[in-house]
Amino acid sequence: MANQSKTSSSSSDRLNHYFSLLSSTASWKGTLEELFLISRDDFIFDNLVIYQTDSETGLLEVLFAKSTGRGKSAEADASWGESLANRIIQENRMICEEPDEKGHRDRLAQPYLLGLPINTEDKLPGVLVFIRFGGPTFSEDDCRFAQWTANLTTSIVRKKMLDEFMSKIEDIQSVTKLQADFISTISHELRSPLGFIKGYTTTLLRTDTNWDRETQKDFLEIIERETNNLTDLIEDLLDSSRLQSGQMKFDFHLVRIDSLIRDEVNRTHLTNPEQKIELDFETEIPVIEGDPRKLAQVFDNLLSNARKYAPEAMLQIRLRKEKKHLIIEFNDDGQGIPEVYQSRIFTRFFRVPEQSMKAHGTGLGLFICKQIIENHEGSIHVSSSQDGTSFKISLPYALVTKKITAEESV
């Protein structure tokens, strides 16, 4: 009696174990591994393979294969069940196949196969095939058990398909959100300069007022500035789509990064003399191979970001040489970027919501920077806290040992 209750409790444990697989959060592969690990206590097999109809080709493809003991190498070559699997798909029933010649000394030459349909309700049916080398024949109990395993396999494979379907939906949702963000950002960014241009042009064209030359010049300067903003916006859009599709052309030269940054800083000072910038450059900075215009675009965006999002702050630009890389840091002591957003700022159109009202922008700048730096086989990372933000760029330098003169570098 005691023995019986022990047996029934252990078989209910096993049953629980089987059912728990259906709600397992492990990967579908991990869940299948576990299923076939426990099922080997109830049902002996050497290898198994699961085939699933491929949605594109309509042919059976190996989804999962497992080898135990004998014929372990058969895992790599799971084609042994293919012809049986195709028969099962056609006839949609369980089929057992036994070797023509029995009693062979080489057990591997005597495969006993048992195949069952899985996922039959779906447009992409599959097959589960077990193999025993050298027998014994699959009994009725074995077949019943294999059917139970096939049903569980169906549920696990369906969960996999559902997960894949859900991740496709998430991808579509994120593309749709990107498109919505794009339209809202672009329409906002277009409307604002167009509003200025239209407003000042209409004002200048009024026939009832005579504007003095000084005022006319001020208005025309605003129109010019806003037209430049529109041109920049269109350039950024074109750049981002060229970079996204790998169509951007790079024109590599030997570049002196220290001079390039100094030039950008000088240019910035002409238009924004109030921006506080400190340079901390190591001497003897080696040249790198790079596209000077594209790299200038990176520095320009980092300078303009510091101006827009850390307006009162001091921006320190550091340049140093490591073994194989130049390290360029843009450190400001502004308000920083909240941690939740830090991983997203390099994606297209992303702008920190709390900051997007403070300054104009499309959220393309850092995306473009990252793509440009990666096209130079470098990297760019951000670290930020309430005390400030730091962008760190690493660029490999050319294996150029000769001293670079001003004429041959940019």
- Of 362, 370, 371, 372, the one binding ligand ATP (CB under 6 A) is 362
SS3 for 199-248, per residue?
Answer: HHHHHHHCCCCCCCHHHHHHHHHHHHHHHHHHHHHHHHHHHHHHHHCCCC
Quick check: 363 binds ligand ATP (CB under 6 A)? yes
The region of 120-128, 135-143, 284-292, 362-370 touching ligand ATP under the rule CB under 6 A is: 362-370
Residue 218 DSSP SS3: helix
Quick check: 186 binds ligand ATP (CB under 6 A)? no
Quick check: 236 binds ligand ATP (CB under 6 A)? yes
Quick check: 364 binds ligand ATP (CB under 6 A)? yes
CA 11 to chain centre: 45
Q: DSSP character for 71?
A: T
The region of 48-56, 132-140, 291-299, 304-312 touching ligand ATP under the rule CB under 6 A is: 304-312
Nearer to ligand ATP, 292 or 388 (CB): 388
Give buried/exposed letters for 12-49 (b at 16+ CB in 10 A, else e): eeeeeebeebeeeeeebeebbebbbeebeeebebbbbb
- Angle, helix 292-309 to helix 257-271, in steps of 10 degrees: 40
What's the closest the beta carbon of residue 394 comes to ligand ATP, in angstroms? 18
| Partner from ligand ATP, Mg ion, none contacting 71, C-beta within 5 to 8 A by type | none
Quick check: 334 binds ligand ATP (CB under 6 A)? yes
Strand stretches in 248-407, DSSP E: 253-255, 276-281, 288-290, 314-321, 325-332, 379-385, 388-396
The region of 77-85, 193-201, 243-251, 303-311 touching Mg ion under the rule CB under 5 A is: 303-311
Rounded Cα distance, 359 and 369, in Å: 19
What's the closest the beta carbon of residue 232 comes to Mg ion, in angstroms? 11
- Of 120, 355, 375, 379, the one binding ligand ATP (CB under 6 A) is 355
Quick check: 193 binds ligand ATP (CB under 6 A)? no
x/- mask, Mg ion, residues 335-374, rule CB under 5 A, reads ------------------------------x---------
> Please, are residues 150 and 125 in contact by the beta-carbon 8 Å criterion?
no
Residues that bind Mg ion (CB under 5 A): 301, 305, 365
